[in-house]
Chains A and B, each alone.
Chain A
Amino acid sequence: QQPVQSPQAVILREGEDAVINCSSSKALYSVHWYRQKHGEAPVFLMILLKGGEQKGHDKISASFNEKKQQSSLYLTASQLSYSGTYFCGTRQIQGAQKLVFGQGTRLTINP
């Protein structure tokens, strides 16, 4: 079951904050976040495991709400380099290596 990402697209000015959501109708074991620049391969950002932990590095963090089966990616004080399409990939079972990706959220940061 493909997770649903929202919003589909966001346009921000440099320095503004953004939240991207990834929701599933199935129970999840983990959520993986990636960023893809135009014409390039996706780059891994972070994994969230069930248990509701929050992770982050620099000004990008994420949380996983097990009750809602939803993960949120937070981009604080956005920089021009944050532009790209963000994908969440989900795993339903521990040990399963296959990921199911959402449709992506296109983030545009303007100066």
Chain B
Amino acid sequence: DGGITQSPKYLFRKEGQNVTLSCEQNLNHDAMYWYRQDPGQGLRLIYYSQIVNDFQKGDIAEGYSVSREKKESFPLTVTSAQKNPTAFYLCASSTEIQPQHFGDGTRLSIL
């Protein structure tokens, strides 16, 4: 079955630590996205990528980094510069004509 896989489901970060959230898709979608969602809030775009080896900042990119070395993979690193990383992180993918479909999300908390 085609879909988007995010891992881990839950992640804990210590002070000063970088952590990486995984996002893999086998839908052959060109574009991939990372969103952050705080409790009771909407989806805010962190980064997105429309082709391999290229990505653009979204509305809240500070403290985050991404890479897109393969079409199927778009990992997100939450760096120590992100002072308030506790949130629900969602990865999505789409094509130009297909809607965005989301993975099940990763819940990140600070230890």
Contacts and interface: CB of A to CB of B under 8 A. Distances in A.
Interface of A: 2, 32, 40-44, 47, 87, 89, 95, 97-104
Q: Name the interface size band of chain B.
A: 20 to 34
A87 B42 contact: yes
B43 A98 contact: no
Interface of B: 30-31, 33, 41-45, 48, 50, 58, 90, 94-96, 99-105
A97 B103 contact: no
A4 to B, nearest CB: 11
B101 A97 contact: no
A104 B37 CA distance: 11
Nearest to B58: A98
A89 B45 CA distance: 12
Nearest to B107: A39
Given A43-B102, A100-B45, A101-B44, 16 more contacts: A2-B42, A32-B99, A41-B104, A41-B105, A42-B43, A42-B90, A44-B100, A44-B101, A47-B99, A97-B50, A97-B96, A98-B45, A98-B58, A101-B43, A102-B42, A103-B41
